[in-house]
Amino acid sequence: MTARPTLPLLPLIASALVALDARAETLLLQNAILHPITGPEIPSGHLLVRDGRIVTVGTGTSTPTADTTIDLKGHHVFPGLIAPTTVLGLQEIDAVRATRDTTESGEYTPDVYSWKAVNPDSELIPVARANGYTHAQPIPIGGIVGGQSAAMTLTGWTIEDMAFRQDVGLHVNWPGFGLDTTPKERAANKDSWKSPEDQIKAREKRLRQIDDFFTEAEAYAKAKAANGPGFAVIPAWEAVLPVVRKEVPLFLHANEQRQIRSAIEWAARRQYRAVLAGGRDAWRLADLLATHKVPVVYEHVFTETLRDTEPYDVHFTAPSVLAKAGVEVSFSEGTDRFGASNVRNIPYAAAQARAFGLPVLEAHRGLTLYPARVLGIADRVGTLEPGKDATFFVVDGDILDLRAHVERMWIAGREVSLESRHTRLYDRYRQRPRK
């Protein structure tokens, strides 16, 4: 692997976008190991691109001609990777409050839209791109009904350039079921201490409130359709309409098994489209999730075991358990303080799941096709198929391999730069005269 020839790099300029507009032209990548994701890899294939879209994905035999042809000499081509839940673009430096736009105040804020706060010039975005990420879904992480997420293209001059799909879904942080059993005398904050009974009461009240909230949203939808006299637009209810009309999914954030069961059964009762995000214990409920066809955004491959009866590899094997049951698993680093800076490492969560039993194609799909489906953008990205966006990257090994280097990337037919703050500092200090 180390002996692989490196590809000639295009001359790079400071902007993320290469100045030359490649859209009008045809581009042919040949002699590549293609990962169409729809099926197994094509050991030596070609990819023809026209007007920013993939025209053909072929085996090597009958090669078309193109304005530009690049011989990939056995390097791999993957569709662009997609980070399904992240705070990339919303958070720059975790410890500096001024750079955090992740968490709104309030409990019911469905009309908060993440794409409006993405910083196109975040230094973190090029770093994610440099390891194959072309799209990400920044999500609002506060509240109970926290707000709307969007699919962002990880390149562009403005948020409007980047907003690939503004209305991906609505985020709900499901109430936790774990009881805090700390005795009052030892509680950090005695004023807010609650007995287990009171905690259960509070949780049940909250669950009722959530249910009521969506009943009211449905009532609003009916009123709006009736458009009777006195109907007034309420922005918060407007924001929930796509969910009650089942046009977009609810992202139910839940980790603990009782919490997951409650959330999934509730969504099924209401027949809403649901995505489970977080999903630490999802493997314990794999059949339930499969029955209701709920995909999982799994954020916990590297979470340490919590129960002292669980084997050390419980979260390494969780995606494989889910996949065996027929659940589509996407991989995420979550939204904690490393959630934005570690997007580039999401492939290694998939790799760990693969090492612990997940088939390699499922691992690849968990980085591409499945998150594309979760985000409702699989018609354009997530696989290498004719008609889809020419959004892909070249790498000198499997993207699951920690040693592999991403070499070139195209988004919708345009080649984008893989330069970042990291490569710039690397180049600069590599040239520091030796002392």
Partner 1 sequence: MRGVGWIVGILVLSGMGQAAEPLQPPGFRPTPPGVHALVGARVYTQPGSVFSNATVVIRDGRIAAVGTEITPPPDARVWNLAGQTVYAGFIDPYLSLSRTNRPVTIGMDEDTSGTGRQARATDGGGGYRFFGVTGQEADPGQTGPGANLNAVTPERRTSQSWSPSTKDLEDLRELGLTAGNIVPTHGIIRGQSAVATLGEDSPGTSLLSLDPTRGTAQHIAFEVPGGEGVFPNSLMGTIAAIRQAYWDARWWGEAQAAFLKNPQSAARPPVNPALEALQLSLGSQPIMVEPGGGLMAERARHLAQELGWSPHLIVVASGGEWRRPDLIEPSRNAYIVPLDFPALPKFPKDEGWEDVDLDLLRSWDWAPENPAVLRRAGATIALTTHGLGDRKEFRKNLIAALDRGLSPTDALAALTTIPAQFCQLGSLLGTLEAGKIANLTVCDSKGYFDPDGKVLSVWIQGRPYVVTPPEDAAEKKEAKPKTDAATTKAPTEKTDASGKEQKDAARKQELRDLARKRVAESPLAGRGVLTNPPALLIRGATIWTCGPQGILTNASLLVRNGRIEQVGTVESTGPVHEIDARGLHVTPGLLDAHSHSMIVGGVNEGSLPSSAMVRIGDVVNSETPNIHQQLAGGLTIANLLHGSANPIGGQNQVIKLRSGASPEGLKFTNAPGGIKFALGENVKQANWGDKFTTRFPQTRMGVPTFIGNRFTAAQQYAATWKAWRDGGQKGVAPRRNLELDAIVEILEGTRLIHCHSYRQDEILAFLRLMESFGVRVATLQHILEGYKVADEIARHGAGASAFADWWAYKYEVIDAIPYAGALMQDRGVVVSFNSDSSDHARRLNFEAAKGMKYGGMSREAALNLVTLNPAKQLRVDRWVGSLEPGKDADLVVWSGDPLDSSSVCLQTWIEGRQYFSRSRESERAAALQRERDGLLAKARRLSGDGGSDGASPGAREKFFRRALEQARHLGVENCQDCLLPRNP
Interface residue list for partner 1 (CB under 8 A): 2, 92-97, 123-124, 127, 177-179, 181-183, 185-188, 196-197, 200, 257-258, 302-305, 307-313, 337-338, 340-341, 344-345, 348, 351-352, 354-356, 400-405, 421-423, 425-426, 429-430, 432, 434-435
Query: Is the sign of the CA dihedral 289, 290, 294, 299 positive or negative?
Result: positive
Phi first, then psi: what are they for 6, rounded to 5°? -90, 150
Rounded distance between C-alpha atoms, residue 57 and residue 89, angstroms: 33
* Nearer to partner 1 (CB atom), residue 91 or residue 330: 91
Shortest CB 263 distance to partner 1, Å:
15
Shortest CB 229 distance to partner 1, Å:
47
* Nearer to partner 1 (CB atom), residue 57 or residue 358: 358
Shortest CB 304 distance to partner 1, Å:
6
Q: Provide CB contacts within 8 A for 303, sequence distance 6+.
A: 280, 315
Q: What is the largest CA-CA distance in the chain?
A: 81
Helices (H), 106-256: 124-129, 159-162, 196-226, 235-244
Structure tokens at 170: 């609505």
Rounded distance between C-alpha atoms, residue 6 and residue 407, angstroms: 8
Shortest CB 162 distance to partner 1, Å:
19
* Nearer to partner 1 (CB atom), residue 97 or residue 269: 97
* Nearer to partner 1 (CB atom), residue 59 or residue 195: 195
Q: Provide CB contacts within 8 A for 377, sequence distance 6+.
A: 82, 135, 151, 164, 165, 168
* Nearer to partner 1 (CB atom), residue 92 or residue 389: 92
Nearest Cα residue to 82 out of 295, 263, 244, 287: 295
DSSP state of 55: E
Calculate ∠ Cα 280-305-183, nearest 5°: 95
Shortest CB 303 distance to partner 1, Å:
8
Phi first, then psi: what are they for 427, rounded to 5°? -65, -40
Q: For residue 352, how far is the Cα from the chain centroid?
A: 18
Shortest CB 181 distance to partner 1, Å:
4
* Nearer to partner 1 (CB atom), residue 89 or residue 110: 89
* Nearer to partner 1 (CB atom), residue 44 or residue 423: 423
Shortest CB 283 distance to partner 1, Å:
14
Interhelix angle 196-226/235-244, nearest 10 degrees:
90
Shortest CB 198 distance to partner 1, Å:
9
Query: Is the sign of the CA dihedral 259, 265, 269, 273 positive or negative?
Result: positive
What pairs with residue 389 in β-bridges? 53
Shortest CB 90 distance to partner 1, Å:
13
Rounded distance between C-alpha atoms, residue 4 and residue 408, angstroms: 15
* Nearer to partner 1 (CB atom), residue 269 or residue 403: 403
User: Which H or E run includes 262?
Assistant: helix 257-270
* Nearer to partner 1 (CB atom), residue 113 or residue 302: 302
Shortest CB 347 distance to partner 1, Å:
9
* Nearer to partner 1 (CB atom), residue 148 or residue 317: 317
Beta strands 42-50; 53-59: pairing state? antiparallel
Shortest CB 423 distance to partner 1, Å:
8
Shortest CB 115 distance to partner 1, Å:
21
Q: Are 88 and 136 in contact (CB under 8 A)?
A: yes
* Nearer to partner 1 (CB atom), residue 167 or residue 396: 396
DSSP state of 17: B
Our CA dihedral for 370, 372, 378, 381, rounded to 10 degrees, sits at -120
* Nearer to partner 1 (CB atom), residue 225 or residue 312: 312
Rounded distance between C-alpha atoms, residue 369 and residue 374, angstroms: 9
